[in-house]
Structure 1
Amino acid sequence: MVSDRRGAVLSALRAFGRAVAVEEIAAQLDLHPNTVRFHLRRLVADGLAEQAPDPRGGRGRPRLLFRPVTHRDSRNYLLLSRMLAQATAESGDVALAERTGDAWGQALLGETGARPSRRARGDDATRVAGHLTEILDSIGFAPEVAVAEDGLHVDLRHCPFLEVAREQPGLVCGMHRALIQGVLNGLDSGLQVTELRAFVEPGRCTASIAR
């Protein structure tokens, strides 16, 4: 499942009909170039786009151009996900899944170029909410992150791993919780995920984050 914003980037990429630079897509969608660059990298990782240096060259490091991938091999990533989830659950090493989620949360944060704030912990909840929204949206959670008096409230309106989560809810939802915590840790926010409520509605989960 491609998130709404990443889907818009992909649609714009296809509409150009040629290899384009980040700045061209950013201008087309009225988005910050860093936001577009983040989503393009995820599209490349997902096999939906490809990148290449600008053949016109120029001084310094050549800028990258992006174009959509028109032909893709048929790959059953859902089956692979189900197999890996089952193997991990049967191993009984739940901590491994949590460590993996935490590590990926911090890795995805690093791709955005975000850094820990120099301000005191807890003083930039809006900034933390913005980064968390961007990362969860890029994965496909269609999130709404609201700043509350005691921290943040996260509404995950779409589960991009629904089929696997239904089969292994403890494992998959635990990894989601750890991923969110990894983003919070990477920002040195001083915030903790206190609760993740799975399937409050079909395909929808919520999380509470406190200081």
Structure 2
Amino acid sequence: MTSDPKPDRDLHGLATLAEPLRRRLYDVVARADDAVSREQAAQQVGVPGHSAKFHLDKLVDEGLLEVEYRRLTGRTGPGSGRPAKLYRRADRELSASVPSRQYDLLSRILANAIASATSSGAPAAQVAAEVAREEGARFGEAYRSRSRSQLQRLADALSAGGYEPRLDGRALQLRNCPFHRVAQEQTALVCGLNLEYVSGVCDGLGCDRVEAELDPAPDRCCVRARQD
């Protein structure tokens, strides 16, 4: 859960790889030491060049591959020919889960907290809480909306973050915990960080009349929010 939540994009990108030939072409490009031409990729999987081009370009459209243009002969100037279109694996990472999980966010909070605590000597738990709140504030700032209701503003932001919020009068229940598996093993730590994160989202949104609080219950997030 960052300022660019991407579950739908990642699911769509992963679905693109469900086509067997497309996945084989992706693997050819991903495993190559250098960028690959459509002819090279087509030869390795045994399909015509035009068929390989169609699937490779689809992978480019989804952000899974990138394109560069280069003369393979190494020659330059007049008569050297047109640069070849080459494909290479993109730096983009894909991850998706149903229901939504954000273990990368939790890992980043803990890693940054440990690094900061190691250099400053401050208690790691205290630093982790501060980092979680800062992360939440950054997320909230990116999702400011014009909704008059502060609680609705928070619901919109947390929905984008995968929390599955549900408004219940002046309270906001969160039906999904993005850190569920780790929270089952380290409940006090993770729920405390989650509370700080959601509180930070409130800060970033400017929801000064909304308060996040711990309210654990089976089958939902341990945090809820209420508006005064």
Output the TM-score relative to the length of structure 1.
0.50
- Largest Rg, 1 or 2: 2
Larger RCO, structures 1/2 (Cα 8 Å, 6+ apart): 1
Output the TM-score relative to the length of structure 2.
0.47
